[in-house]
Amino acid sequence: MTVITCDPRENHLLCALTNSELEQLMPHLELVTLSVAEVVFEVNEKLNHVYFPVSIIASMLCCLEDGSTVEVAMVGKEGVLGFSAFLGKSESSTQVIINQSGHAYRISIDALQKVLTRSGGRRQGNLRELVLRYAESVFVHMAQTIACTRRHAVDRQLCTWLLINFDRATTETLSITQASIGYILGVRRETITEAARKLHDEGMIDYGRGYIALKDREKMEAGACECYDIKKDEAVRLSEDLDSLKTKSNNRERRTFSLNLTATVKQSAE
């Protein structure tokens, strides 16, 4: 039997926690394996867990009455699935589907709330603050995605979507079908097939049954719409902000420890 081990700190939000904060969460974190096309949340489904991706990539989809869907945001190891639970919502507002298989750590909502309540004081707000900053980043991606699907050609959208996936997966080969991409982007499979053939003919990608491989990043970046640079820049800002929040939390924790130690020494002397 194969034992799978993953470091929770591979998730950027968990990595930004102080050691003491992560230690409080660790007993409640469960490592799970998620497969391509697996649905994590349905629209209006009660949130029982939140998921911190380690190697999975997921899409948040808006579902329409006619059965069509459109991706509004993509989530990888920089974020969390079910972040609306931190905003006071008990249900998922989107469908969440896995587009790259892998692993994630999940924690039940009940356990999460108990940990946040027990931590108390200033530390209570740190995880919330991290997730709120991440939520702000998701909203930036959502706004840009709305503009992209409305104004940009499908082949340019496909370039942008593939590049963001390649960046998050840190690989040059994605295991995904053209039908799945069509479902995620809200267009017919035939439209994706035509766009993929164009990218292939221009030397950007190679593809076969169930996979797409990057061949020329420079050409693909030139073929992508402006949304790729905007989303990539926001990802950089998010990473910098998480690092800054972690530094502030560590400094605060050290000051608190120092003050407590000073008070203990003073009491002992008296």
The model's pLDDT over 107-155, given as tens digits with 9 standing for 90+, comes to: 999 999 888 777 654 444 588 899 999 999 999 999 999 999 999 999 9
pLDDT tens, residue by residue, 211-230: 999 999 999 999 999 999 99
| pLDDT at residue number 216 | 98
Last residue of a domain, one of 78, 98, 121: 121
User: Would you say residue 190 lies in a domain?
Assistant: yes
Q: Based on the domain organization, do 60 and 175 belong to the same domain? A: no
At 29, give phi and psi (nearest 5°): -85, 130
pLDDT less than 50: residues of the chain: 1, 121-124, 257, 261
Give the predicted TM-score (pTM) of the model: 0.90
**How many Cβ atoms from other residues are within 10 Å of residue 72's Cβ?**
20
* Distance spanning both ends of the chain, measured CA to CA: 59
- The answer to whether residue 201 is domain-embedded is yes
Query: What CATH number has the domain bearing residue 75?
Result: 2.60.120.10
Domain around 186 = 152-233
Predicted pLDDT of residue 257: 45
What pLDDT was estimated at residue 128? 86
Query: How high is the pLDDT of residue 20?
Result: 85
Closest CA to 41 of 29, 32, 50, 28: 50
